[in-house]
Structure 1
Amino acid sequence: MSDGGRRGTGKMVDREGGDGKERMILIGEVVFADHGIAGASMREIASKAGQKNHYAVQYHFGSREGLVKAIFDYRMQQMEPARQAMLEQAEREGQLTDARTLLDVIMLPQLDLEDAEGNHSYASFLSQYLLRSRSTMFGDFGSESPPHLQRALDLLRERLGYLPTPVAQRRLVNGCLMFLNMLVTHRGNGANEDIEERFEHALEDTMEMIVTSICMPLRTPRHLRGDPNSD
């Protein structure tokens, strides 16, 4: 797949406009990224979003968890057009069984998500979101996936058919965390300026590491296989 196909349709920079509910989603993402999902103040989110009611988050989303899900769903829907275009290109090129292509579809649209300050606050938020997950179901990140993301996940699961589902899920989550860490570290206003490496090089190396780690054969230690020759 060409680089243009991997990168999606262009940056989706948020200016914190829209209605009050949308502003709370965007502000909530930034506050969660800065202070943690558990430590963020719902009152601070409401205040920064211009809401006079301190309980506006609870009113619109029901709870902290409701806002977390709303952020996840909002960003997933934003990335759907890019994922659709990438899947269509992959289908034309006969690449729907290629692990790198499918992982590009799953991960690379996040490159285009920037907050109002030009940072990748969603990457920080999603890292925390994934670290809280204990699901062993492949592709389950705590919320229903939109159709194009789900298709990419289904195709990747077929590609990884030789792995038990909990192993495939663990590898996918670990791969996502590697990608998100690279994105936060190397890109945006908060990136580490001391890193003497071009972002494109870091991206390519990280994606290749993810493909290798996710697709490697399952090697069970001999003592867990009941091998009589094990120590």
Structure 2
Amino acid sequence: MATARAARSDGKTRLILAAEQLFAKGGIDGVSLREIAAAAGQGNHHAVQYHFGSREGLVHAIFVHRMQQMEARRGEMLAAAEAAGRLSDARAIVEIIFLPQLELPGQRDNHSYAYFLLLYLLRNDGRDFGDFGAELPPNIARALQLLRQRLDFLPEHIAQRRLVTACFMFLNMLTAYADDRVRSSDDESFEDAVDDTLGQIVLATCMPLGSARV
């Protein structure tokens, strides 16, 4: 019985990872569920429906799977920030939210999750801060709560819009560096690009409302 459960779980993971790769290349609506099942080595063409119910169920499962993979690292970063008295430091909070994505397995070279997440965010219409269409694990939820407290001067929908914009900024940087032409450039290292983008996110996200008007 335990072996059967492990096989089902492993099959679900293979579907999630295959779908992430295919969605990243062909778009969330541009890939058939049969293609995903075949890429995951599933003989049953209806494997996605069996495990996830629908395309949208699979899409949410990818998001949740990756959030869970980053949860332990975010917990470590939250503990370190708390010990250093930096839980109200916008840069520390932004790092907790974004940097664990750099440590996801198999992502340093192709960033398929970054491509997928760009598409996922474009499908999301949540106006409440931190609403990404799925229940969030506790550590990322806490990091977002800390950021919301830092942005308490903003109305809810504007704070959410800035958060989504910050995600796009970070993901755009990652997908740009997935391009060999950018990676081979001597103009800026990947580490410098990450540092600059995080600084840009802090400034843009925490900017007082209306201060950019000239």
**Could you say whether these structures have the same fold, taking a TM-score greater than 0.5 normalized by the shorter chain as the test?**
yes
Partner of 1:192: 182
- Cα contact 1:102–1:155 (8 A) shared by 2: yes
> 1:118 deviation in Å?
4.0
The reply on whether 1:45 has 2:36 as its aligned counterpart is yes
Return the alpha-carbon distance in structure 2 between the equivalents of residues 157 and 116 of structure 1. 28
Change (3 A) 1:143 1:50: same
Change (3 A) 1:82 1:221: closer
> 1:192 deviation in Å?
3.0
Q: Percent identity?
A: 56
Partner of 1:5: none
> 1:191 deviation in Å?
6.4
Change (3 A) 1:117 1:87: closer
TM-score w.r.t. the length of structure 1 is 0.83
Return the alpha-carbon distance in structure 1 between the equivalents of residues 212 and 84 of structure 2. 39
Give CA deviations for 1:43-95 in whole Å, capped at 9, x if unaligned.
Answer: 11100111111111111110000101111111111000000000000000000
Three-state SS of the structure 2 residue aligned to 1:81 is helix
Partner of 1:171: 162
Alignment of 1:8-157 (within 5 A): 19-115=10-106, 118-157=109-148
Return the alpha-carbon distance in structure 2 between the equivalents of residues 204 and 30 of structure 1. 27
When the two structures are aligned, how many residues end up with a matched partner? 204
Change (3 A) 1:132 1:191: farther
**What root-mean-square deviation, in Å, do the aligned CA atoms of Structure 1 and Structure 2 show?**
1.9
Three-state SS of the structure 1 residue aligned to 2:17 is helix
- Cα contact 1:26–1:115 (8 A) shared by 2: no
Structure number having the greater helix percentage: 2
Can you give the 5+ residue segments of structure 1 that lack an aligned partner in the other structure?
1-17, 223-231
Partner of 1:204: 195
- Cα contact 1:114–1:122 (8 A) shared by 2: no
Three-state SS of the structure 2 residue aligned to 1:19 is helix
> 1:117 deviation in Å?
8.8
- Cα contact 1:113–1:120 (8 A) shared by 2: no
Q: Which amino acid aligns with 1:86?
A: M
Partner of 1:214: 205
Return the alpha-carbon distance in structure 2 between the equivalents of residues 191 and 102 of structure 1. 31
Return the alpha-carbon distance in structure 1 between the equivalents of residues 212 and 127 of structure 2. 21
Return the alpha-carbon distance in structure 1 between the equivalents of residues 93 and 49 of structure 2. 37
> 1:114 deviation in Å?
3.9
Change (3 A) 1:150 1:117: closer
TM-score w.r.t. the length of structure 2 is 0.90
> 1:41 deviation in Å?
1.4
